[in-house]
Each structure stands twice: as structure tokens, then as C-alpha cells.
Amino acid sequence: MTPDRFTFISELLRERSGLVLTTEKTYLLESRLTPIARRAEVSDIDALIDLMKVKRDVNLIEEVVDAMTTNESFFFRDIKPFDLFRDHVLPPLLEARASKKSFRIWCAAASSGQEPYSIAMTLLEQKAKLAGWNYEIVGTDISRSILDKAEKGVYSQFEVQRGMPITLLVKYFEQQGETWRIKPEVREKIKFKFFNLLESPASLGKFDVVFCRNVLIYFDQKTKGEVLERIAALMPPDGMLFLGGAETVLGVSNAFKPVPNQRGVYALT
């Protein structure tokens, strides 16, 4: 790929999604954009990029961003954060909201839905404690196609076996041939919405707990800081943030501080 084509596509991705594409990731362009080139009836991805240069086709641009930002996800990814949520974040939250009996959770990179569904199942497993409570989980993502999958809540046998205990599978999923569909009682706890983390999340409302895991790693330092500041602005003073295992707020934002002995959990400063 010529340097000017690479510059064009990497700048477009950074501007639209915050994704930082380095030259050693050029192979990703090849594997993910080739199907789009075929659909656009051009010979290869070089031709696709040339087409995008001359014609600012919004749908095409969205399709390209979508393809480049789609990431795989697992149920109960890394397990620990969900245990920490249940054992250390939820109890004080329930105590603090005892009069209001409601709270809201935001999954800021919901991907194909495994994370919000894992949170919903964690909460449903605490049914007794949550009797009479209202809670809402909002799952957002920049990819419309991945949100479609999340909303359907249908997963392959392979997907439901990565990370999910068999007892939860039997309890919260219905088998449909070779696939497994999340039951309505879990599905109805979650609102899926299209949202770009580079934009203001003010319209999403306030959130007591935010999961923003394994998405900041794709952004540059400045963007990371800005995203964290905007998340902080949506939280009450006792709000809690979950980041991915390879992510931190240190040196990125002063809005959050790590919670001691709770890896990946951050409180407002």
C-alpha cells in the first residue's frame, strides 16, 4: 500500500472512531476491507481507498469504520471484574441507593453483547437482594452490525462456552438448533444504542457504574484522557469505572484513581 493511501485511511479511522492504526497493522486493512471492496465492486482495497478519496460516501465510510473496529468478546471476560463488581462495587452501591432503589450501568464498548449480558446475569443471580429495585444497563458501540448481533443475543456453541459457567447457560439461554439465544428476562435489562465514544455522551444520562474495557487501548493518549473526562462527567461522586486489564488512568486522566486491591476498578478523584 502506498504511504498516501495508508495516511488517508488511518486519518479517516482516527477522526471517525479514535482508532490508532499503525503501519504494522496494515494486514488488518487487507483482511477486513477486502469484503467491502468486493461489495463496492472495485478490484482491491487500494481501489476502495481511492474511491473513498474522491467520493465522501457516508455509508461506505461507516461500513469501513465498522469493519475496522469490530472486536471479539467473551462472556465474563477475565472473570475477576465481574466478581469484583458483585462483591465489592454492588454492595456499597445498593446501600447508597437504598432510598431510591435504582441504578444505571453503562457498557461503553458493548461489542456483540457478551459484557452487558454477563452483567445482567450477574445481577439476576442476586435477585433476592435486588427485589423491588429498578436497574438499567445501557450497551453502546460504534459498530451497527455488532449491535445488531448484540440485540439478537444469539451465540454459537463455541461462543457460549468461552467463559460462561454451564449452569448460567442452562438458566439464561434457550437452545435453537446449533445456536443459543439469551432469554427475554436477560435481554430486557439492556438497552443497546449506537454511540461513538469520540462524541459527547450527555444524552445517555447518568451512570453509577461504567464498564469501558479494552477500548481505550485503541486510542492515543489525548483521546483516552478526553473519553475518561466525559465519562467522569456522567457519574455521581461515588460512581465506579471498570477498565480492561491492560489499561490505566495513570498519566492519562486525573478524573479517576485506582481503587486499592481491586484491579481494573477506578473511583472518581
Partner 1 sequence: MKRCLIVDDSKVIRMVARKILQELGFETEEAADGQQAVDACKRQMPEAVLLDWNMPVMDGIEFLKTLRAMPGGTGPIVVFCTTENDIKHIQEAIEAGANEYIMKPFDNEIIQSKFSQVGLL
Site residues (vs partner 1, CB under 8 A): 79, 157-158, 161-163, 165-167, 169-170, 175
Which residue lies nearer to partner 1 by CB, 163 or 258? 163
CA-to-CA distance for 268 and 254, rounded, in angstroms? 9
Closest CA to 125 of 86, 75, 174, 161: 86
Which residue lies nearer to partner 1 by CB, 95 or 178? 178
What are the Cα distances from residue 241, in Å, to 124, 222, 257, 269? 21, 19, 10, 12
Which residue lies nearer to partner 1 by CB, 146 or 160? 160
Least distance between partner 1 and beta carbon 91 (Å): 23
Least distance between partner 1 and beta carbon 185 (Å): 16
- Grid cell 496494515 in the structure block, residue: 26
Closest CA to 123 of 168, 58, 154, 163: 168
Least distance between partner 1 and beta carbon 47 (Å): 37
End-to-end CA distance of the chain: 45
Least distance between partner 1 and beta carbon 119 (Å): 17
Least distance between partner 1 and beta carbon 117 (Å): 16
CA-to-CA distance for 223 and 3, rounded, in angstroms? 24
118 contacts: CB under 8 Å, gap ≥ 6? 75, 76, 77, 82, 163, 164
Which residue lies nearer to partner 1 by CB, 75 or 195? 75
Which residue lies nearer to partner 1 by CB, 4 or 185? 185
